[in-house]
Every structure is written in C-alpha cells, then in structure tokens.
Structure 1
Amino acid sequence: MSSSLRLVPVTSDNVEAACALSVRPDQSELVQPVAWSLAQAYTTPDIAWPRLIADGETLVGFVMAFINVQFAPGTPDDPFRSGLWRLNIDSGQQGRGYGRFAVEAVNDELRGRGSTRTTVTYVPGAHGPEEFYRKLGFRPTGELSGDQVVAERELAQPA
C-alpha cells in the first residue's frame, strides 16, 4: 500500500472519474454505484460525508460515511449512530489495502467528531464483505437494516 493514500472531496473536477469507478460484477448487487451514492449525499448533506480514495493522482475508490443517524427514528432507545455508509473499491484496484485504509480513515474522522463506536451495514452472502469487516473488528449486533446486517466496532480514543 502506498504512503500517498488520502481521502479527497468530490469536486466538479473529479466527479466524472468518481462515477466511472465500478466494483467487480459479482459485487454489483451488494453496493450501489458511486453516482447513486453521490445523489444520496447531495440530497442528505446534513448526514453524508462522501470522499474519494486517491493513491497519488489515481482515484481507486469511493467511501461515504453517515453522521448521527437514527436507524429507527421515533424508537425511544434507538441511539444516534455514525459509520460507514458505502465503500466502492474499483474492480482493478481491489486487494491492495485501499478498503482497509478507507475504513480506518472514516473511523479517524468519526473519532475526531467524538464518536466512540462506528457502524456498518452489509448484504450477507457468499460474495459479501462480512469477512472483510470482521477482520477490521466489526461484530454483528443482531439487528437488520432492511436486508442488511448491522455490525459495530468500538473506536479506541487516541492516547
């Protein structure tokens, strides 16, 4: 993994390249395309935090966090949560540590905003990302969000 990895905002200069990013065909049913995510970010700017994953000058993926959302609004014991909303690593760039970098960068952002845990949802199944998230410390909560598994991870505060 390169030391020039960083998250960059989506701008008018890179939005076309962002929308050209695509996951492997066997993953296309597991995550929405980047263009869909950007439309959601545009319509929910109060909770969405979209970023591109860059390695040097090359865009290798897209990540979007959600900030302070209730999964079941109106339920008295439903806490506000923050976490990973989308992760798309371009099909030709997978297996190089970019996903791990993006998840940890989102966790750093959330930690900086005062979060003590992070949440992710994912579609279960043979080609799904469950094992990837387990390796990063996420554990299923037993909840579902629609047809997706809800998993959480504690965020240790920096020393």
Structure 2
Amino acid sequence: MNTALRLEPLTPANLDAAIALKVRPDQEHLVDPVVKSLAEAYVHPGVAWPRLIVDGDRPVGFLMAFLDIDFAGDGTGTDIRSGLWRLNIAAGEQGRGYGRFAVRAVADEIRRRGGTRMTTTWHIGEDGPEAFYLALGFRPTGELSGGERVAELDLI
C-alpha cells in the first residue's frame, strides 16, 4: 500500500479542496456532494466522522463515517450502529484503490472504538456500487434505508 495515503480531518486549510472534490457526472445521483456531508456533520457532531482522503499532497476523495447512531431512530438504543455514511472518490482518481482504503480505514476506526460490525448503504441499480461493496465482504441485511440497500461487514 502507498504509505503516503492517509485520512485527514477537515480543517480551514483543506476545506476548499474537500468541497471541490466531484465524482463523475454519471455518478452524481448515487452520492451526495461533499458540501452536504459537511452540513450533516455540522448538525450531527459526535456522530459524523468526516475525513479527506489524501495521497501524498493530493486530495483524492472524501469519506464520512457515522459512529454509534440509533439506526432505528426510535430512541430506544436497541439498534446502535457504526459505518460508512458517504464515500466520494474524485472522478479522475477512481480505480486506484482509494475506495478500498477508505472502507478499511473506517473499519479500523470502528474496531478501535470497540465495534464488531460496519454498516453501509448503497443506491440500488445496475449503475450503483453494489459490486464494489460485495467484493469487500459486505452482506445485504434485507433492510432499506432511504431507498438504499443496507449491508453489514463483520469486523471480528
């Protein structure tokens, strides 16, 4: 693995670079833009974990994890989950392993916090990223969230 590849917290110094990241035009309906993720991170402090994916000195992507949310949203705390909320790899940077790196980095953070499973969702359809997530070992749960397929990865 490229040792120059790392995650960086969002700061005033890299905010514009993060916002400027764009997926391919044919993927824009599959993932919200970085600016929406940053707004969600602002209103969900302590839950959202936004990070810039950097290769050397070049921003190549953005991820946002969610940590310990009440997935059912019913306030009972019976379905607490952590996982990958958003993944944006810049159009010209796709196919170079940055997405796999991002998923592994989120899995490592969840493990570091004591988690044993990682949840994500994806757009259903031929043009969606299902094959990517299945190849990484995610298993669909049979649930839908916001019209997207829910899947989990065991981290044990």
- Structures share a fold, TM > 0.5? yes
Give structure 2 stretches of 5+ with no counterpart: none
Identity among equivalent pairs (%): 60
Output the TM-score relative to the length of structure 1: 0.94
Structure 1 stretches of at least 4 aligned residues deviating more than 2 Å after TM superposition: 73-78
1:99 maps onto 2:104 in alignment: no
- CA distance in structure 2 between the aligned counterparts of 1:133 and 1:65, rounded to whole angstroms: 15
1:71-100: per-residue Cα shift (whole Å, max 9, x none)?
Answer: 222276841000000000000000000000
Equivalent residue pairs, number: 156
How big is the alpha-carbon RMSD for the aligned residues of Structure 1 and Structure 2? 1.3
Superposed, 1:138-149 pairs within 5 Å as 138-149=138-149
Distance 1:135 1:54 in 2: 23
- With normalisation by structure 2, the TM-score equals 0.96
45-54 vs 72-81, which deviates more? 72-81
CA shift digits 1:94-139 (9 cap, x unpaired): 0000000010001000000000000001111111110000011101
Distance change >3 Å, CA 18–CA 129, structure 1 → 2: same
Contact 2:82 2:119 in 1 (8 A): yes
2:87 matched residue in structure 1: 87
Contact 1:69 1:80 in 2 (8 A): yes
1:26 matched residue in structure 2: 26
- State which drifts further: 55-64 or 74-83: 74-83
